[in-house]
Chain A
């Protein structure tokens, strides 16, 4: 938790997006746009924000709409392929699966980006994040269907490419640049 400062709460104005989202959430739950419902929603949202103050995020949340849209489409694709792959694998190898726990470097140093990346990896085919080492920036990813070193390397690459997409969508600009330069180094190494 290097970026949050528990002693300092989010300033009032910064809480506005959260209040708006809670009102929208409330209206979706009740599926009504009654003026009474809206007022009640605002009251509940304010109450929630006051009762459960969130720690301040020192790194602002960035959103690149195009990259986020690409991430969302990719998420659907991941879900479908992971379900199909698991179906195939269940049929053939479920009694004696080959699993591994793989160490994958985390590409970001921002808490919310790491959280989204961990979620994405956990929705991808045959993998989920078992342990997060925040300090050394390592994911420990549980992987099914790795009977050869090649498949192990593939699982690692897959987790990294997913993270790349998350970083492109949500991470601050300097991390994006760091990612690009890392890519370049890798290209040169090849």
Chain B
């Protein structure tokens, strides 16, 4: 076993561990947005580590293809969490007893009370 093998097995194992952590969080958290946290962050890191571990075993040209996977993951994961999170917020899928402060709700409430203008410009976002 070379140093490269050891390094890549460390990456693969820790990557897999982070993915398990993500799954564990998914099970434990109570509502959609917090589960989203658990699903996106440890899992992104886990995937990157697994890719790194695999890349160490491959030729340079082949490994570059994996860099593409990593790039797309980093770009798309936050977009996904924003869209799903917003949908969850609008459909009321946030456990209310966990919310300490909700400045978005304060703002929306203020708009409802005040000008209808501001509320409608908020809707198409």
Contact = CB atoms under 8 A, between A and B. Distances in A.
Contacts of B29: 90, 94, 97
A100 B101 contact: yes
B42 A31 contact: no
Contacts of A79: 41, 44-45, 48
B37 A130 contact: no
Interface in A111-170: 118-119, 121-123, 125-126, 128-135, 140, 142, 144, 146-147, 152
Interface residues of B, number: 49
Contact of B67 (A28, A101, A131, A135): A28
A99 B98 contact: yes
A87 B42 contact: yes
Contact of B25 (A86, A96, A98, A118): A86
B34 to A, nearest CB: 5
Contacts of B116: none
B62 interface: yes
From DSSP, what is the main secondary structure of chain A's interface residues?
mixed
Chain A contact patch, size range: 35 or more
B122 interface: yes
Contact of A97 (B34, B82, B121): B34
A128 B38 contact: no
Given A90-B29, A90-B38, A101-B102, A83 B18 contact: yes
Counting from the closest, the 8 A-B pairs by CB-CB distance are A122-B78, A94-B28, A103-B103, A83-B42, A100-B101, A119-B78, A83-B45, A90-B25
Interface of B: 18, 21, 24-25, 28-30, 33-34, 36-38, 40-42, 44-46, 48, 61-62, 64-65, 67-68, 74-75, 77-79, 81-82, 85-86, 89, 94, 97-105, 107, 121-122, 125
Given A82-B41, A99-B99, A152-B100, 9 more contacts: A79-B48, A87-B42, A90-B28, A95-B30, A98-B100, A101-B89, A123-B44, A132-B82, A144-B37
